Structure 1
Amino acid sequence: MWRRKLYGWGAAIVIFAVLMIVTPAIPQSQEYHDFADQRELFLGIPNTLNVISNFPFLVIGLIGLVLCLRGSFRLSLQGEVWGWSCFFIGVAAVAFGSSYYHLKPNDARLVWDRLPMTIAFTSIMAIFIIERIDEKTGMTSIAPLVLAGIISILYWRFFDDLRLYALVQFVPCIIIPLMAILIPPMYTHSAYWLWAAGFYLLAKVEEAMDKVIYKWTHHIVSGHTLKHLCAAMVPVFLTLMLAKRSIEPDRRSLFQHWRIYWVRVKESRFKEASLDCEYAAVSTPT
């Protein structure tokens, strides 16, 4: 077992080294800070909607953390408590970091916007390893993964290169939905992972269309404000999943469930077609 883990880490390091060699540096564009909605609507708050739209992160982060520490969720393994606690702390911290950044957008403040998000991303990866692969491996990976996320932020800030941060942000977005679909879960309600992934993808689209959405809505709300609200739905769905789930008696992956459902649908359609053919073959007396 330890050899397989060693080979896996070795392969990951080699792939990472090759990517860093063959890909060019990605500097932080200063146009990123030029958001569509820069209105000061009330209380003298600059970029008002982009600031206050972070409040849901604080609410759901604190609720999730309290429920996690009180034992209100179904958490069978000790590593899960640590992993989910780190996740909800990261979510709650997003409210402060992102609000601080949007009061006066610049690179120095962007560090505090991205840091809590990175803690949440890396914690989720550790949680998935605990639940779907191996508890011991996942628990021991919490600190290294969070540290890797922090290093990616520092690397960007000091070397103006976003490659490490891009890996930390987007690799979980690809791996987690795939693992949720292909690897049998320990708990029920695994489909909530896909709902969370879907809302995160929608948030990234809204972020990219910040100015377009602001124009479409006749300067009522911008894409970046909607991005905050949709991104906050990710921990909402995960909190609902934790509150509703139980131990999965039938350890089948979502892909297996979907395949079984599809086979049943095909069989029912075939039976209906056979019955239609039988009725058509019966001749009526004249």
Structure 2
Amino acid sequence: MKKRTLWAWGVAFICFVVLMIVTPAIPQPQEYHDFADQREFFGIPNTLNVVSNFPFLVIGVIGLVLCFYKNYFKLSLQGELWGWTGFFIGVAAVGVGSSYYHLNPDDARLVWDRLPMTIAFTSIMAIFIIERIDEQKGTVSIIPLLLAGVISILYWRLFDDLRPYAIVQFVPCIVIPLMAILLPPMYTHSTYWLWAAGFYLLAKIGEAMDKVIYKWTHQIVSGHTLKHLCAAMVPVFLTLMLAKRTVETNRISLLKTWKVSWTKAESREYTYTTVQPEDSRTH
């Protein structure tokens, strides 16, 4: 491993330690388990919050199969295959783990909701490093990132402190859209990353407004149920991206592409025809 890479990991670790020292612990609030929609249908407790996780299982299994079925996604790099495999395993496991949690929400079951999500988040981070920074560094980072995710869950359960888990969850939410915009892509259809990020943002809004949305919709659907459906659109868009994309021959960042488009729009010249007035002089 190069010295610069070691320095980067060292700086990241020091920043993490400083953050843990200067910030107070964040315990798991128990009111988190008090969801707006607690209706039961067909003998299933919290029915809509349970069944709305089914799309995760479907798209996770589809993506996992396509990763290996005749190399449908054309994953030419070994690290990519490992990263996307981890991502789709995490997505499929969310469908199972989150359903299990919502049948009887409590801290113990919440582990099986959050653990698959950390696998998906950390796998995506490794994929982005492979595609946008360096293949070898990204491949090497897969295991450490996965371990960081698992450790963040264990730390929360042992010490009732959500800080490491919050970092694992929210850092990719900030870094990935920035990397998608600022760094040149290896493949086409890079804007699908931004669509995925947009749906994840909608999911977090739905989660935060669980009870409000339930009231607005006259108790038809809650914000948390909509959160599941919006979040499931993230792997849907990424699966579509994998199916459509090709190797980018002209690697230009989205930001530069947008700048070029804006410059062309601003510099577009319009040609006007000058109409000569008729000679009104009397001959």
TM normalised by structure 1 equals 0.95
Partner of 2:172: 172
Matched, 1:69 2:68: yes
Equivalent residue in structure 2 for 1:284, among 261, 277, 280: 277
Partner of 1:83: 83
Tell me if the contact between 1:74 and 1:245 (Cα under 8 Å) persists in the aligned partners.
no
Structure 2 CA distance for aligned equivalents of residues 211 and 13 of structure 1: 38
Structure 2, unaligned runs of 5 or more: none
Partner of 2:45: 46
Partner of 1:100: 100
Helix, strand or coil: the match of 1:46? Answer: coil
Deviation at 1:136, TM superposition (A): 1.0
Structure 1 CA distance for aligned equivalents of residues 85 and 130 of structure 2: 14
Structure 2 CA distance for aligned equivalents of residues 197 and 74 of structure 1: 23
Deviation at 1:10, TM superposition (A): 1.2
Deviation at 1:267, TM superposition (A): 1.2
Partner of 2:110: 110
Letter in 2 for 1:60: I
Helix, strand or coil: the match of 1:219? Answer: coil
Tell me if the contact between 1:87 and 1:119 (Cα under 8 Å) persists in the aligned partners.
yes
Q: CA RMSD in A?
A: 1.0
The residue correspondences of 1:142-181 to structure 2 (distance < 5 A) are 142-181=142-181
Deviation at 1:41, TM superposition (A): 1.8
Tell me if the contact between 1:57 and 1:91 (Cα under 8 Å) persists in the aligned partners.
yes
Partner of 1:253: 253
Structure 2 CA distance for aligned equivalents of residues 213 and 45 of structure 1: 22
Q: Between Structure 1 and Structure 2, which shows a larger proportion of helix residues?
A: 1
Structure 2 CA distance for aligned equivalents of residues 7 and 105 of structure 1: 42
State the identity as a percent: 75
The residue correspondences of 1:124-273 to structure 2 (distance < 5 A) are 124-268=124-268, 271-272=269-270
TM normalised by structure 2 equals 0.96
Deviation at 1:283, TM superposition (A): 4.0
Structure 2 CA distance for aligned equivalents of residues 176 and 50 of structure 1: 28
Structure 1 CA distance for aligned equivalents of residues 143 and 24 of structure 2: 29
Structure 2 CA distance for aligned equivalents of residues 91 and 10 of structure 1: 30
Structure 1 CA distance for aligned equivalents of residues 74 and 22 of structure 2: 44
Structure 1 CA distance for aligned equivalents of residues 150 and 68 of structure 2: 24
Structure 1 CA distance for aligned equivalents of residues 68 and 32 of structure 2: 37
Letter in 2 for 1:116: P
What is the number of residues matched between the two proteins?
Answer: 278
Helix, strand or coil: the match of 2:194? Answer: helix
Q: Give deviations 1:202-250, integer Å, cap 9, x for gaps.
A: 0000000000000000000000000000000000000000000000010
